[in-house]
Structure 1
């Protein structure tokens, strides 16, 4: 078992990453690494936006600064929306099946 098969086995159990069980679910190793890299980048960007928005909201409430509150109110839902739509887009682009559609 090489590192590629190990990563596929490791990530196949996580709900967020959809459902893929074998190496053959991806065309090449390069496409798998691209998929994982894009997921990592998307998650990192969404978490960063969420932290910035949450911090602005709390700080804005404490200081009664409406501009900071507005940034927080915009950034928090934007980060969640970006995360959800990004995961759906990647699952469609890389043709990863959802768990509910996998026949047992």
Structure 2
């Protein structure tokens, strides 16, 4: 028996839309974001897509990892509006991603 799907909250919808926007602004791919979400066992691009489209729920640690990668407050990404987007520095995002690859 499959559990009933709970409708996503506005906060979850805002976060997913924010991630999609942040990916476009930063120039990262969904696969690169998936690596940043769980470097030890990366989330594949299709799973990231399911999270963005709200077919799969975001885990709290993934929300924080995504916000950290983009250099913004995770709570800002949960609110309507996009004022936080101006804080995204694509080269800094790329550097943070690269530092995840070099961690022991």
**Structure possessing the higher radius of gyration over alpha carbons:** 1
Same fold judged by TM-score > 0.5? Answer: no
Q: Per the shorter chain, which TM-score range?
A: under 0.3
Normalization by structure 2: what TM-score? 0.24
Normalization by structure 1: what TM-score? 0.24
Q: Greater share of helix residues, 1 or 2?
A: 1
